[in-house]
Structure 1
Amino acid sequence: MRDLIPSDMKDNVFPVPIRYVDHLSDDVGASAPVIGAGLVVFVSDGLPVGQAYIEGSENLGALAARAVLPETIQHARNVMQAPIRNRDVSLLICTKDRPDELARCLASIPRQSLPPVEVIVVDNASAGDDTRRIVEASGATYVRENRVGLDYARNAAVRAAKTEFLAFTDDDVVLHERWLENLMKAFDRPEVGCVTGLVLPGELSTPAQLIFETHWGFGRGYKRRDFGPDFYRQSAPFVAPAWLIGAGASQAFRRQVFDDIGLFDVRLDMGAAGCSGDSEFWNRLLHHGGTCRYEPTAVSWHFHRKEMKGLAKQIRQYMSGHVAALLVQYQNTGNLGNLWRILVSLPKHYLQKFGKWLRKEATSDNIFLRDEILGCLNGAWYVLRRWKTPAW
C-alpha cells in the first residue's frame, strides 16, 4: 500500500507548483488572472503573509482576499519596524551524513540580515570527512559528537555556544534572509524562553512530499501565538499539545532556559526513540512557568523526504517519539494527561482510521496506518526499558 498514490491525490500533477505572489502586485486586483492548481503563498515586503492550496482554477484576487488577513500584514510591518535588541545569538545546526543538504543550508546563512555571532555545526558521527570539509569551507565551527542521537548533538551544540541566545535549524532547511532577525525580535518579554518560526515546504515534487505537507507539515499559520501558563494549565487534563508550538527545524532559546530546566532528553529524537525531543522540551518549559512563542515572520523552507519508503520510516519515528515523549513528560511532571493521550485518545483515533482502512479507503490520511501504530508501540517499549536512564 505504501507504494500506491492515495486515492485523494491521484488527480494531482507532480511537481505541484508553489507560487509566491506579492499581495500588492497588479496581478492581485479587480482583473486578477485565473491560475491553476498548486500552492500559492502571498508575500508582503518579502515576507509570507498567507497561503492557499487550490486543486482547480481560481481567481487570484479572490484567493488573496480569502488567504491574507489585514492583521497579518500589519504584524509583519510591525516586526520589520521594531528595533533589534537581541544580537548575541549563535546559530546551531546538527547533521549526520547529509553533506549536500548541509551545504545548501549553510549557503543561506551569509544572507541573514542579522549575522549570528557564531555558526556551530555538530557532526553527529557522520561517515567520512565530507561534513567536516563543508563546515570548514563555510567558516563555521565544527564540533564532533560521536554518541549517535539528535539530542546528544543538540546538547553538544548548547555546550559549545557562547552566546545569550541559541537558534537551531536543521541541515535540510533553507533560511529566509530575515529569519534570525525576526526570531530575535520576538524575545521582547523576559518570560518568553523559546521562539519558533514558520516553516514552508521547499518543494512539492512527489506524492510523499505532498502527503507530509498535508498531514505532518511544520507550518503553524500566519498569526503570532503565545503558549504560556494558561495554555498549559487549561490543556493539562488531556496533555498540553506542545507540538502546536512549532518545529525543531526553526527554534531559538534563551540560554538561561537550559540552566533552569536542563538539556534535551537524549532518550528522544533520531538515534533513540525517534522524535519529539523539541516538543518534550517545550512542554518542560511550560511546566516550569515559561512561555513559548510562535513567530510567523521568522520564515524558513524545509525539504521533505521525496520517497514513500523514506516517509513511512519518518512517520514511524514521529509516532515512536511522540509516545516516548508522553511517557517522559509523565515521568518528569506526573501529569496524568500524558497517560490519557496514550491510553484513550490515540487508541480512539486509530480505531477510526482503521475503520476507513478496512473499507479499502487508501487515503493520504491512513496510508501509513501500520507505520503509525508500530511507531506508537515502539516508543512505549523504548522508554519503558530505559525508565531510570538519566535524561542527558
Structure 2
Amino acid sequence: MNVSLIVSTYNRPDALEVCLDSIRHQTVLPDEVVIGDDGSKDETKELIERMKGGFPVPIVHVWQEDNGFRLAMMRNKSVAAASGNYIIEIDGDVFLHPRFVEDHIRLSGKGIYVKGGRVNLNRELTAKICLERRAPRIWPWTKGIESKPENGFHFKHLSSFLAPRYRKHASPGLGCNMSFYKEDYIRINGYDEFFEGWGGEDYDFANRLLASGCVKRYLKFAGIVYHLWHEDKYMQNADKNFKYMEGQSSHQVIRCTNGVDKYL
C-alpha cells in the first residue's frame, strides 16, 4: 500500500503549518502529502516551499485559480495528482493525533471507506496554536475544546470493535477525515463538481460510495483530528447543494458525470 495524504487548504498558512507539523510527527508516515490549494495567495506557496526541504516525505502542491469555493474540484485534482493507491483526505484547518495515519491504515480495505470524527477547538485556543505554529498534544480535558471532547479519547482495540458497528446508517461522510482506495474513488468518478460553496459534497461522495457497494468503517476513539476554529463562510449555496445531494441519494446515483475523470 502506498498512501497519499491529501490536505485541502485556502489562504490559511498558519493553520496549514500546524497541520503539516502534526503530519511530520505521525507514528506511521504517509508516502507523500498532496496539498490541494483552492487559490491561496503567495504566502501559502512560500510556506510549502519552505517546508518541503526538511519534511520527511515528498510534498506536492496542486494549485487552482481562486474562483470561489471549489473544494470538490480541488479534491478531484489532488487525487488525480496523487501517486498512492490509498488516499487519506483531511482539511488544512485540522491537525492530527499522532496515530491518525496508523489508525486509517489499520482499518483500510478495498471496497471499504473509513470515516472519522473531530474535536472542535474554540477561538482562543485556536489563536494560541496558530500563533505558535506547532501542533500541541490535546486531551479530552484540555481547556479550549468547544465541542465533542469525547472524540479525543484514543482506544485502539475498542475502535477496531466499533468500526464496522458504530453509526452504520448515519453520518455517511466527513471530508476532513476520510480514507479510501483510489480505485473505489475512480469507480464513482470522485467528487461531483456540481458542488460549489460550502456543504453537501462529502455526504454526496460517501452516499455514492455506499451505493456502489462500499462499506463504511467508522473511526470512533481513533483517527482523531482537532479542528481549528473559523468563521462560517461560503454558505450561499448550502440549500441548493443539500437539495441536490438529497435528490442524488434518493435516485441511488453511483457515478457522477462531472467528476475526476477529466483530470486522469
Q: TM-score with structure 2 length normalisation?
A: 0.73
Aligned to 1:136: 49
Counterpart contact for 2:210–2:216, Cα < 8 Å: yes
Over aligned residues, Cα RMSD in angstroms? Answer: 3.2
How many Å separate the matches in 2 of 1:177 and 1:154? 24
Residue correspondence of structure 1 range 107-186 to structure 2 within 5 A: 107-126=21-40, 128-139=41-52, 140-146=59-65, 148=68, 149-186=70-107
- Unaligned runs of 5+ residues in structure 1 are 1-85, 232-239, 335-388
Counterpart contact for 2:3–2:87, Cα < 8 Å: yes
Aligned to 1:299: 224
Higher helix proportion, which one?
1
Give the secondary structure class of the aligned counterpart of 1:100.
helix
Aligned to 1:82: none
Letter in 2 for 1:183: H
Deviations 1:46-85 (A, max 9, x none): xxxxxxxxxxxxxxxxxxxxxxxxxxxxxxxxxxxxxxxx
How many Å separate the matches in 2 of 1:227 and 1:129? 45
- Unaligned runs of 5+ residues in structure 2 are 53-58, 126-143, 260-264
How far apart are 1:167 and its partner, in Å? 0.7
How many Å separate the matches in 1 of 2:245 and 2:47? 33
Counterpart contact for 1:274–1:320, Cα < 8 Å: no
Letter in 1 for 2:217: R
- Percent of aligned pairs with the same residue? 24
How many Å separate the matches in 1 of 2:93 and 2:17? 9
Counterpart contact for 1:94–1:121, Cα < 8 Å: yes
How far apart are 1:391 and its partner, in Å? 2.2
Aligned to 1:262: 189
How many Å separate the matches in 2 of 1:301 and 1:116? 19
How many Å separate the matches in 2 of 1:225 and 1:245? 13
Give the secondary structure class of the aligned counterpart of 2:117.
strand
Distance 1:89 1:205, change over 3 A: same
Letter in 1 for 2:199: C
How many Å separate the matches in 1 of 2:93 and 2:85? 25
How many Å separate the matches in 1 of 2:6 and 2:79? 8
Specify which of 162, 185, 201 is matched with residue 120 of structure 2. 201
Q: Max radius of gyration: which structure?
A: 1
How many Å separate the matches in 2 of 1:280 and 1:291? 15
- Which 4+ stretches in 1 moved above 4 angstroms? 217-223, 313-320
Deviations 1:334-380 (A, max 9, x none): 9xxxxxxxxxxxxxxxxxxxxxxxxxxxxxxxxxxxxxxxxxxxxxx
Q: Does the alignment pair 1:326 with 2:239?
A: no
Counterpart contact for 1:164–1:254, Cα < 8 Å: yes
Q: Does the alignment pair 1:391 with 2:246?
A: no
Aligned to 2:199: 275
